[in-house]
C-alpha cells in the first residue's frame, strides 16, 4: 500500500516509524515531514494545512491511505476533501472535528448526552460573562471557544483575573474568531490523564492511557506548552478505572457523535481530570497527542496499519491490538525560549550515535537537515527522546541518558518527566 502521513512533528515521526515497519506498507510519504521522518518516508514540501495541495498529491501518487496527524487540517475539512476525491483517510470529518475545534460544541455534547465534565456556561457578551463569574467560587476557568494553539485556557485565581481573560477573548479579540465566545467553567481538581480510542463511527477501541506534562518547566511551573513529556502506562489508571473511562466517556462520546449526525472516525483523545467523583472530560482532541503518540507507538506490539484501516472501514468491533507491558517515557527537547520566541537553525549533534541504542528512539519534531546532512533546529519542540523500560525508572533513565548525549546548547528539557508516577508509586508503597 501507499501511505501519506500529514504533519511534521514528533507525533508524525512516531506514526511514520510504526507504519514503515508494516509489511503492508510499500511506499510511505509525509507532508511536510522533518529530518527524522526523511529517514522513514519520502517528504513532500506541502504544508500540513494546505488541503488542496494535499488532495492533489495523494491523488497524483495514487495513495491508498492518508493518515492525518494535526488538528488544523482536520478542522479545515481535509478528510472530507480526500474522501470526495475517492481517497481513504484516517481522521474525522470536518463536522466531527468540531469536537476539538469548538469547546462550546464539546460542552454541548457532554451536557446533552450525560458525559461527565465540569459545569459550565457559554457567553458572547462580556458583561454577562463577568456578572456570572462574580457569582461563582474561585478558582474558575475561562476558555476561548475555538482553536487557540493551547493558549485559550486560563485557570483564574481571582475574579479580576477572570474578568481580564474574558476581556482578552471577547473584547480585545486576542484569539481572533476563536474567541468570539467563551466558556466559563468550574475548576476541577485532581491529576490529568490522556485517554485514547481508535474509532470507526460506532466502536471505541480503547488504547492505553498516558500522562502528559503541559507546563514548560520542572515541578509543573512556567507557561503551558503543547506537552514537554509523557509516559504510559500510568499508575492512575488500573484496569477498573480504564473500564470506567471506556464506559462513561469514550464509548458514550462515540455514541453521542453518531446520534448528533456527526459520526466520529479516527483517533479520539479525551483529556481527563481524575476527580474524587471519577474521571471528567477537560477537553477533546480529534488526533493523537504529541508527545503521547510517541509513547504509544513505542509500546505498540501489533501492526499499526491494519488498525488504522479497520477504523476507516468500520470493522473495529472485531479488532484487537496488543501492547508491550513495559513503560515508555518521552522527554521533549525544546529550543530555549519555547513556548515563547526562540532561535532556529542551530546544529544538533550526537544523533547518529543514538541509532545504536536499544529501546531508545530520538523522534524528531522541529528539525531540518542541511545539504551536508547536519540536523538543525527548526521549531519550538525539536526532539522527543522516547525510551522503553521494565519500569518507569528504567525508561526515564534510558531517555535522559540519551538526551545527555545530544550536543545542542540551545536546547532545554524538563528533568522530572515521570515524576508524578514515581511520587504516586512511593505513596502506594508506604501505604
* In the complex, minimum distance from the CB of residue 292 to ligand GLY, in angstroms, rounded to a whole number: 6
Q: Pick one of 34, 117, 285, 330: the residue that binds ligand GLY (CB under 6 A).
A: 285
DSSP percent split of the chain into helix, strand, coil, nearest 5: 35, 30, 35
- Contact present, 286 and 92 (Cβ < 8 Å): yes
Spell out the residues 6+ positions from residue 192 whose beta carbon is closer than 8 angstroms to its own.
211, 212, 214, 271, 272, 273, 274, 282
Q: CB-wise, 139 or 410, nearer to ligand AMP? A: 139
Q: Does 144 bind ligand AMP (CB under 6 A)?
A: no
Q: Indicate the angle between helix axes 392-403 and 419-430, nearest 10 degrees.
A: 150
Q: Does 289 bind ligand GLY (CB under 6 A)?
A: yes
Q: Which three cell numbers stand for residue 353?
A: 550515535
- Contact present, 43 and 19 (Cβ < 8 Å): no
Q: Pick one of 50, 80, 168, 185: the residue that binds ligand AMP (CB under 6 A).
A: 185
| 272-291 footprint of ligand AMP as x/- string (CB under 6 A) | ----------xx--------
Q: Does 142 bind ligand AMP (CB under 6 A)?
A: no
Q: Which three cell numbers stand for residue 427?
A: 505513596
Q: Does 236 bind ligand AMP (CB under 6 A)?
A: no
Three-class secondary structure of residue 224 per DSSP: strand
Q: Does 71 bind ligand AMP (CB under 6 A)?
A: no
The region of 73-81, 199-207, 287-295, 322-330 touching ligand GLY under the rule CB under 6 A is 287-295
Residue-by-residue DSSP string for 252-278: HHHHHHHHTT---EEEEEEEEEEETTE
Q: CB-wise, 88 or 107, nearer to ligand GLY? A: 107
- Residue found under cell 527537547: 333
Q: Does 271 bind ligand AMP (CB under 6 A)?
A: yes
- Contact present, 210 and 194 (Cβ < 8 Å): yes
Nearest residue relative to ligand AMP (C-beta): 283
| 192-231 footprint of ligand GLY as x/- string (CB under 6 A) | --------------------x-------------xx----
- Contact present, 245 and 209 (Cβ < 8 Å): yes
192 binds, among ligand GLY, ligand AMP, none (CB under 5 to 8 A by kind): ligand AMP
* In the complex, minimum distance from the CB of residue 232 to ligand GLY, in angstroms, rounded to a whole number: 12
Distance (Å) of CA 141 to CA 106, 156, 309, 381, 430: 16, 6, 38, 27, 35
H-helix segments, 159-291: 159-170, 239-245, 251-259
Number of residues that bind ligand AMP (CB under 6 A): 14
Q: CB-wise, 32 or 271, nearer to ligand AMP? A: 271
The region of 28-36, 82-90, 181-189, 240-248 touching ligand AMP under the rule CB under 6 A is 181-189
The region of 6-14, 180-188, 242-250, 423-431 touching ligand AMP under the rule CB under 6 A is 180-188
Nearest C-alpha neighbor of 257 from the set 286, 280, 293? 286
Contacts with ligand GLY, residue ranges (CB under 6 A): 212, 226-227, 285, 289-290, 292
Amino acid at each position: 500500500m501507499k501511505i501519506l502521513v500529514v504533519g511534521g512533528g514528533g507525533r508524525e515521526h512516531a506514526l511514520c516509524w510504526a507504519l514503515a515497519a508494516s509489511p503492508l506498507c510499500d511506499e510511505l510519504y509525509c507532508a511536510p515531514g522533518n529530518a527524522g521522518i526523511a529517514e522513514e518516508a519520502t517528504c513532500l514540501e506541502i504544508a500540513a494545512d494546505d488541503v488542496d495541495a494535499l488532495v492533489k498529491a495523494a491523488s497524483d501518487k495514487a495513495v491508498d491511505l492518508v493518515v492525518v496527524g494535526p488538528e488544523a487540517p482536520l478542522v479545515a475539512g481535509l478528510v472530507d476533501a480526500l474522501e470526495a476525491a475517492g481517497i481513504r483517510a484516517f481522521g474525522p470529518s470536518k463536522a466531527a472535528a468540531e469536537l476539538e475545534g469548538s469547546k462550546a460544541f464539546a460542552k454541548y455534547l457532554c451536557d446533552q448526552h450525560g458525559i461527565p465534565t465540569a459545569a459550565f456556561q457559554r457567553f458572547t457578551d462580556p458583561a454577562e460573562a463577568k456578572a456570572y463569574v462574580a457569582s461563582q467560587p474561585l478558582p474558575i476557568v475561562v476558555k476561548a471557544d475555538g482553536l487557540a494553539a493551547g493558549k485559550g485556557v486560563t485557570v483564574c485565581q481571582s475574579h479580576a483575573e477572570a474578568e481580564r481573560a474574558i476581556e482578552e477573548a471577547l473584547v480585545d479579540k486576542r484569539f481572533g474568531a476563536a474567541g468570539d465566545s467563551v466558556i466559563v467553567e468550574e475548576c476541577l481538581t485532581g491529576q490529568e490523564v490522556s485517554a485514547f480510542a481508535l474509532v470507526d463511527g460506532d466502536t471505541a477501541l480503547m488504547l492505553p492511557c498516558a500522562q502528559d506534562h503541559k507546563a514548560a518547566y520542572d515541578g509543573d511551573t512556567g507557561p503551558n506548552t503543547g506537552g514537554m513529556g509523557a509516559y504510559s502506562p500510568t499508575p492512575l489508571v488500573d484496569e477498573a478505572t480504564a473500564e470506567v473511562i471506556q464506559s462513561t466517556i469514550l464509548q458514550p462520546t462515540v455514541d453521542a457523535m453518531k446520534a448528533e449526525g456527526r459520526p466520529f472516525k479516527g483517533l479520539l483523545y479525551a483529556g481527563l481530570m481524575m476527580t474524587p467523583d471519577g474521571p471528567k472530560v477537560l477537553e477533546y482532541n480529534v488526533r493523537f497527542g504529541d508527545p503521547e503518540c510517541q509513547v504509544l507507538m513505542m509500546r505498540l506490539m501489533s501492526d499499526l496499519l491494519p488498525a488504522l484501516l479497520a477504523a476507516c472501514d468500520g470493522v473495529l468491533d472485531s479488532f484487537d491490538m496488543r501492547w508491550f507491558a513495559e513503560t515508555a517515557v518521552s522527554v521533549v527537547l525544546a529550543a530555549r525560549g519555547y513556548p515563547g520566541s526562540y532561535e532556529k537553525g542551530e546544529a544538533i549533534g550526537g544523533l547518529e550515535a543514538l541509532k545504536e541504542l536499544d529501546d531508545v528512539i530520538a523522534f524528531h519534531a522541529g528539525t531540518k537537515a542541511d545539504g551536508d546532512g547536519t540536523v538543525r533546529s527548526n521549531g519550538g519542540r525539536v526532539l522527543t527522546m522516547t525510551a522503553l523500560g521494565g519500569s518507569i525508572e528504567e525508561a526515564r533513565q534510558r531517555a535522559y541518558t540519551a538526551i545527555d548525549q545530544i550536543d545542542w546548547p540551545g536546547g532545554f528539557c524538563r528533568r522530572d518527566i515521570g515524576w508524578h508516577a514515581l511520587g504516586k508509586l512511593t505513596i502506594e508503597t508506604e501505604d
